[in-house]
Amino acid sequence: MQNFLIVLACVIIGIALRSCRTLILRKLGALTFLIASFLTFWLAFGSITAGLLGAALWFLLPWFDLLTRIRFMRLPIENRLKLRTPPSEDHFPNASRLINEIEKAEFDHVTDSGWDWGGMQQYFRFFWNPEAKAIAAVCLCEHDQVAFAFVTISARAPDGRTVHTTNYPFSPTLKHTPEVHWDHLPCERNCFESIYTDHQRHLSKLKIPSQELLMPDPEEVLHQVEGEMKRQIDHNLECGLIKMTGDGHFQYSTKGLFFLWIQSVKDMIRLC
């Protein structure tokens, strides 16, 4: 009974900490759950090794989805953006604010489009600013009952490099090509002004002067997004993370599943 009460106390403390608004306290709550798992297996089997294995089970949870859904998923090699009307802003209250902030920053609306990517509906609203030589996009994502919005700012260097700055909340599910540089900001960074400031800082780190950026063509935005996705797919085929299925689609290889697992563990640690 004493051992049970010790574990129960850890679980209750963990639930209390996870209910806090402070990030560090929520992370302590996640750590407390790991401690509770360690204690459960340690006290049950009398072995520290068993306790460590019990705590490690949390990091094996992504494999359930990887082996039951992702392994059988087929994704198109040629995925085309289609003109679409974004869903009601009532579903994305944060998106409306982001759009207003982008417009206040003197970015002009270009077009609305979207595609289906692995069962997730993605809607894009593109903007451009000729003075900043940048493209901004608000992406609205819907998957099952989950919906969220994020911002991406893009620019192109004269040497062929493409620079993206985004507050997309998850790790990428495919490796990026060498000529594309991504700066993934914390998802809490959801003010367009601060995202744009980080984008300029990103350009400075890459030693790309703002005045040397190529002028974006708003008429070619969709083609550039599609082309970048196609090059990324080709790059991951070469890396062995994905493989062709012979019907115009691809699926993740065993190496790709381990890559996704590592990305999932990163998200668990970062977002817990």
- Residue 49 and residue 144 in one domain: no
CA angle 182, 116, 254 (to 5 degrees): 65
In contact, 174 and 167? CB cutoff 8 Å: no
Beta strands in the chain (DSSP E): 75-76, 82-83, 108-117, 120-129, 134-143, 146-156, 162-166, 180-184, 242-244, 249-252
- Break the chain down into helix, strand, coil percent, rounded to 5: 50, 25, 30
In contact, 114 and 84? CB cutoff 8 Å: yes
CA distance 259 to 252: 9
Write out the residue range of the structural domain in which residue 163 sits: 79-253
- Residue 169 and residue 237 in one domain: yes
Question: What pLDDT tens digit does each residue of the chain (272 aa) get?
Answer: 677 888 888 888 888 888 887 778 888 888 888 889 998 888 888 889 998 998 899 999 999 999 999 999 999 888 888 887 766 666 666 778 888 999 999 999 999 998 887 778 889 999 999 999 999 999 888 877 777 889 999 999 999 999 999 999 889 999 999 999 999 998 778 899 999 999 999 999 999 998 899 999 999 999 999 999 999 999 999 999 999 998 889 999 999 999 999 999 998 887 77
- Residue 42 and residue 102 in one domain: no
- Residue 14 and residue 50 in one domain: yes
**Residue 155: what are its φ and ψ, rounded to 5°?**
-150, 155
Which pLDDT score, from 0 to 100, does residue 21 have?
76
Residue 265 forms part of a structural domain: no
Q: How many domains does the chain have?
A: 2
Which pLDDT score, from 0 to 100, does residue 156 have?
95
Tell the burial category of 196 from Cβ atoms under 10 Å away from its Cβ (0-12, 13-18, 19+).
buried
Taking the model in full, what pTM does it have? Answer: 0.86
